[in-house]
Structure 1
Amino acid sequence: MTDGDQQPGETAADREPGVAPVATPEPVPATGENVTQAQAVPEQATAAVPARRRRWPLWAALAVVVVVLTCALPAVLLVGLVGGAAGRTATGDDRATAAARRLGARMTAQLDRQAAALLGGDRNGFLDVAEPGARADLTRRYAALRALRVTVWRPAADGIPRTVTGRPGEWQLAVRVEYCFVVPGCTAAATVFGTRWREAGEQPRLLAVEESRTAPAGARPWEVSDLAVTFGKRTIVATTPALRAKLPGLLAEAEAAAKVADLYTVGGAPPDRYLVYYAGRAEWRRWYGGGRPRWTAGYAVGVGGGHHDVVLNAESLSPTGVDDLLRHELTHAASLPERGYSDRATWWLVEGLAEYAGADGQPVGRYDGLPEVRELVRGGWNGRLDGLAPADDAADDRVGGSYGVGYLAVRHLVDRYGEQRVLDFFRLVVHDRRSAEEASDQVFGEQWATLHDDCVRYVRTVAG
């Protein structure tokens, strides 16, 4: 897990008023067999599902813990974009600002044309608003979005255009896009990216689309990579064309993991689909900004609308080590609040619940992390759950021990009070940001100081 300050996320209701939704096509029925490769011309293939099982060698980092949703930051924070705050009202505009607004409206009309073409499967129409130099990148984006079965694509200007210094006739515009995959009625995810334009009368020409710069989520995989994608009833799994042979097995394990993760939904309905990306070495370093702790095998990242994309590190996983990692990460996607969380003191609870789901009911004595727990407990752990979160550069044993202590603490609470009351406690602490003391009194009818010490004694007893 990466620590750090977080910015609050944004709900769909926070987007600028007056942005009309783009009409969406009927969804394509999802199957567990269909694999679409996103290239200039998407293609399909089918394959069989291999066997599986075993623990992952590294640990699951929760980007969403460190990453609350970020897609709605103002354009002034975009790297290489706008240098000043955009005007928000039409009253009091000077002549230059009014002209920029009119130009922005024409750019938005071009983006709306492009959105309609994307949703209608018209690649030529999607490319038609752009100059030749932008078309290779746009072709890749179009193919990736179509492979993911995009059903909603709502672009809107995030501010007004700004001139590009030293380039007469060129303009920059921050664009916010809300999007859905497979499910047309979803609460949309969102991102903000920069665009460059050439002024050309009533139809400005698109020169370039930048990667999302809204830290720390960073560039989505569909922005920067060719994708091969497969679909199940509850999950979407995507990777690069080079790793597409992994998709059938990954889909089978993701579908099984989703059934478990659904049981740990907190604060509403389960996700309409869990989106899982399987990253090779280069993609791991680039997707969502890269830069994860070296011990990370997977993470979940908030992308808006209550959605949390999951990314797995292909290089850190054995062929049989994916199932419990998927249960862990999909449980984050099901249990975490839309805006994520920022309190490192609750790390043990967030990761403990995910580890509990990952263990999938196995006896405590079979938990793979017990050796690391023993080492942590015997190595001078201070007995505080609120100080468990490991540093980015922590040793593997320290990381494993921290996850294991979180698991055992949650396991003890579940054994004593049942899963539903633990989920109620989780909701109050993580979603509602109530103190553990207040939540414990309300849910368990016990003082948290007493329960905390009971959990620690249980951990020490199991560690031996």
Structure 2
Amino acid sequence: MTQGHAYPPPPPTSRRKLWIGLAAGALALAVCAGALVGVGLGLRGDDEEGAAPKAAAAANGVTVTDAELTALLDRHGKALAAKDLDGWLAAFDPAREDLVAAQTHLFRNLAKLPLSVARYETVEKQGRASDAFGQGVTFQLDVSFVHQFDGFDLAPVTEWYRWTIVRPAKDAPVRVTAVTGAPAAANGSSKTVYYPGPWDRWREIHVERTPHTLIIADSARAALAKRYAPTAEAAVAHDLAVWRAGGLPGPVPNGFVLALAKGKDEMGSLYRIGTGKATEAGFSLGMVAAERRDGKFTIGGTRVVVDTDERYFGRSGGRNDAGMVFRHELAHSLMTPRTNLTEVDAFDRLDEWVVEGFAEYVAFHGRPLGDSERTVAARRLLRGWNGKLPGNGDWNDPDLVSFHYWLGHTAMNHLAEKYGESKLFRFVDAVYAGTPTDRAARDVLGVSLDEFQAGWADYVRAQTR
């Protein structure tokens, strides 16, 4: 699995490999991040080892106190809020010209974003922050950039940086000499925690707004952002109409933050540094809220990234064009905030046919199954098909991933036609809440999963007649 709920490339004309599109691992990564955010994790370092080293350092050596670091981060956040570039740059070593230039660009990019919350908090300290012999100290400070897009995020979310902190002598100022992304858990699909954002990745960003979208692109591609803004807005209107017809209670995002990537290298280095090569056409990434709600971790918002080099984006007005990719990813973004992160083990077991089938169902809502370009190839594969829903292990076969998307799509179509669309939404919602799929079928549909599967298999085979 990889990060985010992803839309795979179009079905190939040959039997070349496809990348598997489900990425529930994004939330596993998010939980790893959220486990340390907003829970009051203290600074750790050698200055915490006892009274004697502290006394020696105070008299003879060099130290950076927790209070100084807290004040540094507080000033940094206030400078951003006040649009005070000089105050923002005060944290950084002026002798590091490349660093100062990079942070200047970052400041100007952040100033373009509608942030209702923007502050910096400590995550963890790595290394010695005190030296009793006056040799100076250098250590790493992992910093959480807590931020919220006004009108888009349900709650503040976070991005983690790693700052290198230096105090060369007892009375010298504390300076930041390097900035990069803080490392994520070793077993995740990203090497970093929501880093780099588009504001880090691109020297200058362009921000294009519609009533329900915030599109971020490299400034050199501003015209492209303007071109796709109406398509993205129409996709939101489509998905929200389908969602509201489903009748689920609870908050729904008023808008969505999207980024336009050019090619797979950019796709794999926005809000993540992927441990594998990106091959998807788009993904939706759940962002863990910076603070717990009622003692529980939740999703505060999502980020959608699409690769505009994909052939979907070279089509205009078709049934399988850029709008379909937007609709699919935004469908994930509607469901992801409803994930029960306390049931992360259950989430790991989420059936991909439910997650991806729902996104396909929403993307093609109101259209016949034949409008999906997967249908023609899928019908050929039905000969010899075992009549079963694809298990998560089945999705590891890259030659069949498009077929499995189609099977998930047909499962949702059948569910809606036989049991009603409101039950479809309730069923998918129950699965996201951590209910095992077989129990969700009994609770919501009133049948066992085997019974549902048997009826669905008949429905699928009827598609070939």
TM range (shorter): 0.7 to 0.9
> Which of 293, 299, 308 is matched with 2:302 structurally?
308
Q: Which has the higher contact order (CA 8 A, sep 6+)?
A: 1
Unaligned runs of 5+ in 2: 12-17, 37-41, 290-298, 316-320
Partner of 2:296: none
Corresponding residue of 2:213: 235
Which position in structure 1 is the counterpart of 2:318? none
In the alignment, the residues of structure 2 paired with residue 379 and residue 101 of structure 1 have an alpha-carbon distance, to the nearest angstrom, of 71
**How does 1:152-167 map onto structure 2 within 5 Å?**
152-160=117-125, 162-163=127-128
Q: Which residue of 2 aligns with 1:286?
A: 269
From 221, 242, 254, the equivalent of 2:232 is 254
SS in 2 for 1:147: coil
Q: 1:268 to 1:291 in 2, by over 3 A?
A: farther
Which range moved further: 144-153 or 408-417? 144-153
- Report the alpha carbon displacement of residue 270 of structure 1 after superposing the two structures with TM: 1.5
288-297 vs 97-106, which moves further? 97-106
Q: Which residue of 2 aligns with 1:190?
A: 158
Give the superposition deviation at 1:249. 2.2
CA distance in 2, matches of 1:164, 1:102: 5
Mean CA deviation greater in 331-340 or 438-447: 331-340
CA distance in 2, matches of 1:258, 1:97: 57
**1:271 — aligned with what?**
253
Tell me the TM-score normalized by structure 1: 0.76
- Is 2:10 the counterpart of 1:57? yes
Preserved CA contact (<8 Å) 1:425 1:440: yes
Q: Check 1:212–1:379 CA distance in 2 against 1; reply closer, same or farther (3 A cut).
A: farther
Check the 8 A contact 2:283/2:304 in 1, yes or no: yes
Distance 1:74 1:264, change over 3 A: closer
The corresponding residue for 2:292 is: none
* Aligned mate of 2:201, from 224, 227, 234: 224
| Structure 2 CA distance for aligned equivalents of residues 299 and 233 of structure 1 | 22
Residue 14 of structure 1 corresponds to none
1:356 corresponds to 2:340: no
Q: Which amino acid aligns with 1:208?
A: A
Structure whose CA Rg is larger: 2
Secondary structure of the residue aligned to 1:360 is coil
Is 1:372 paired with 2:377?
yes
Q: 1:178 is aligned with what amino acid?
A: V
Q: In 2 relative to 1, CA 112–374 (structure 1 residues): closer, same or farther, beyond 3 Å? A: same
Report if the CA contact (8 A) 1:197-1:206 is conserved.
yes
* Amino acid aligned to 1:121: K
Give the C-alpha shift of residue 384 in structure 1: 2.8
| Equivalence for 2:183 | 213
Alignment deviations for residues 95-149 of structure 1 (CA, whole Å, 9 cap, x no partner): 5579799623212211111111112222222112211212122122212222222
- Identify the residue that residue 443 of structure 1 maps to in structure 2: 444
Residue 19 of structure 1 corresponds to none
After superposition, the C-alpha distances for 1:249-306 in whole angstroms (9 at most, x for unaligned) are 2211111111233343866311243111110124223222245666511111122232
Aligned to 2:140: 172
Task: Output the amino acid matched with 2:80.
Answer: L
1:427 corresponds to: 429
Checking the alignment, whether the CA contact within 8 Å between 2:63 and 2:137 is kept in structure 1 is no
Q: Secondary structure at the match of 1:399?
A: helix
Deviation at 1:309, TM superposition (A): 0.7
Q: CA–CA distance in 2 between the matches of 1:350 and 1:179?
A: 28
> Given that residues 300 and 329 in structure 1 are in contact (C-alpha distance below 8 angstroms), is that contact kept between their aligned partners in structure 2?
yes
Q: Percent identity?
A: 23
How far did 1:246 drift? 0.8
Q: Distance in 1 between matches of 2:32 and 2:393?
A: 30
User: After the TM superposition, which of the residue ranges 149-158 and 177-186 deviates more from structure 2?
Assistant: 177-186
| Contact 1:115–1:154 (Cα < 8 Å) also in 2 | yes
Task: Say what the alpha-carbon RMSD is for the aligned residues.
Answer: 3.6
Question: What does residue 23 of structure 1 align with?
Answer: none
Number of corresponding residues: 404
2:389 to 384, 390, 396: 384
1 CA distance for matches of 2:348 and 2:69?
A: 41
Letter of the structure 1 residue corresponding to residue 323 of structure 2? D
**Structure 1 Cα separation of the partners of residues 107 and 199 of structure 2:** 9
Report the 3-state secondary structure (helix = DSSP H, G, I; strand = E; otherwise coil) of the residue aligned with 1:315.
Answer: coil
Query: Is the 1:75–1:159 contact (alpha carbons within 8 Å) kept by the matching residues of 2?
Result: no
Q: CA deviation at 1:423?
A: 1.1
CA contact (8 A) 2:166 2:175 kept: yes
Alpha-carbon shift at residue 454 of structure 1 (Å): 1.0
Secondary structure class of the residue paired with 2:239: helix
Paired with 1:332 and 1:404, the residues of 2 have a C-alpha distance of 16
Q: Give the CA deviation at 1:76.
A: 12
Q: Which moved more, 1:454-463 or 1:61-70?
A: 61-70
* CA distance 1:415–1:206, change in 2 (3 Å): same
Aligned to 1:334: 334
Any conservation in 1 of the 2:146–2:158 contact (CA below 8 Å)?
yes
Letter in 1 for 2:326: L
When residues 427 and 364 of structure 1 are mapped into structure 2, their CA distance, relative to the original with a 3 A threshold, is same
Quote how far apart the aligned CAs of 1:417 are: 1.9
Shift of 1:237: 0.7
Q: Which runs of 4+ in 1 moved over 6 A?
A: 58-61, 74-77, 97-101, 164-167
Q: Which residue of 1 aligns with 2:413?
A: 411
- Where do 1:392-411 residues align within 5 Å? 394-395=398-399, 398-411=400-413
Contact 2:324 2:363 in 1 (8 A): yes
| SS in structure 2 of the partner of residue 350 of structure 1 | helix
Distance between the aligned counterparts of 1:357 and 1:441, measured in 2?
23
Per-residue CA shift, 1:158-214, capped at 9, x if unaligned? 134523899942221111221112349841111222111112648511112212432
Aligned counterpart for 2:109 among listed residues 128, 134, 144: 144
Cα separation, 2, equivalents of 1:411 and 1:109: 56
Find the counterpart in structure 2 of residue 319 from structure 1: 314
Report the alpha carbon displacement of residue 230 of structure 1 after superposing the two structures with TM.
0.8
Deviations 1:23-64 (A, max 9, x none): xxxxxxxxxxxxxxxxxxxxxxxxxxxxxxxx9736896565
| 8 Å contact kept, 1:161–1:171 | yes
